[in-house]
Amino acid sequence: MRIAIVFSSATGNTAQVAQAIQEACQGHEIVAFGPPDQNVDRAELVFAGSWTDKGTMTGEMAAFLHTLYGKRIALFGTAGFGLSEAYFAALVERFKGEVPQGNQVVSTFFCTGKMPQAVRERYEAQLAQNPEDNKVQAMLRAFDLALSHPDRNDLEQAAQFAREALSM
């Protein structure tokens, strides 16, 4: 099958997932791999991924998806606060909302991705101002839990997602 893997990644987490997807696509023809400025005209299946920026995909990935028509699309993403399935499910719906009619979303995958240290420092400063702030405490916990992600298990699940999308 002719495959495109297009992704938006600022700090490398989503790129790591894209790499795992690429490895799972061995034996298929990869016609595009990289940021969302690819020509995917020849692709029969487009893997499209983004990091989560303020609750949704990046503007550049949304703009790319809006150029597609008649494509089978497998959507993937990483998120810093993705430690509950319900949160991932909400993000999936937002991501799907950027896919124009006339395309088909065949599959979706999300995993957690570590955040830059500057984010933790911002929370720490907020907590210093207001030590009882439960919300900031929870954000700090989420930050620390995300530090090891994407991990081996996430990348194996990404490969599994790719193999399933290829078999559909």
Ligand X SMILES: Cc1cc2nc3c(=O)[nH]c(=O)nc-3n(C[C@H](O)[C@H](O)[C@H](O)COP(=O)(O)O)c2cc1C
Choice from 3, 5, 9, 45 touching ligand X (CB under 6 A) = 9
Which residue number, 46 or 51, has a Cβ lying nearer to ligand X?
51
46 or 139: whose CB is closer to ligand X? 139
Residue whose CB is less far from ligand X, 42 or 116: 116
Query: What order do you get walking across the sheet with 29-34 strand by strand?
Result: 29-34, 2-8, 45-51, 72-79, 104-112
The residue whose Cβ lies closest to ligand X is 113
Does 12 sit near ligand X (CB under 6 A)?
A: yes
If binding is defined by CB under 6 A, does position 36 make contact with ligand X? no
Let me know: does 116 contact 90? Beta carbons within 8 Å: no
As measured in angstroms, the least distance from the Cβ of 134 to ligand X is: 18
Contact between 113 and ligand X (CB under 6 A)? Answer: yes
Q: Is 35 in the site for ligand X (CB under 6 A)?
A: no
Minimum CB separation from ligand X for residue 69, in Å? 26
By the rule CB under 6 A, 89 interacts with ligand X: no
For residue 166, give both structure tokens: 């290829």
* Closest to ligand X by CB, 35 or 104: 35
- What is the per-residue binding string for ligand X in 116-135, x denoting contact by CB under 6 A? x-------------------
Position 152 contacts ligand X (CB under 6 A): no
Expressed in percent and rounded to 5, the helix, strand and coil fractions of the chain are: 45, 25, 35
Phi/psi zone of residue 110: left (φ > 0), alpha (ψ -120 to 50 degrees), beta?
beta
- State the sign of the Cα–Cα–Cα–Cα dihedral 110, 74, 29, 38: negative
Output the smallest distance, CB 82 to ligand X, in A. 5
Euclidean distance between CA atoms 80 and 78, whole angstroms: 7
Most distant CA atoms of the chain, gap in Å = 55
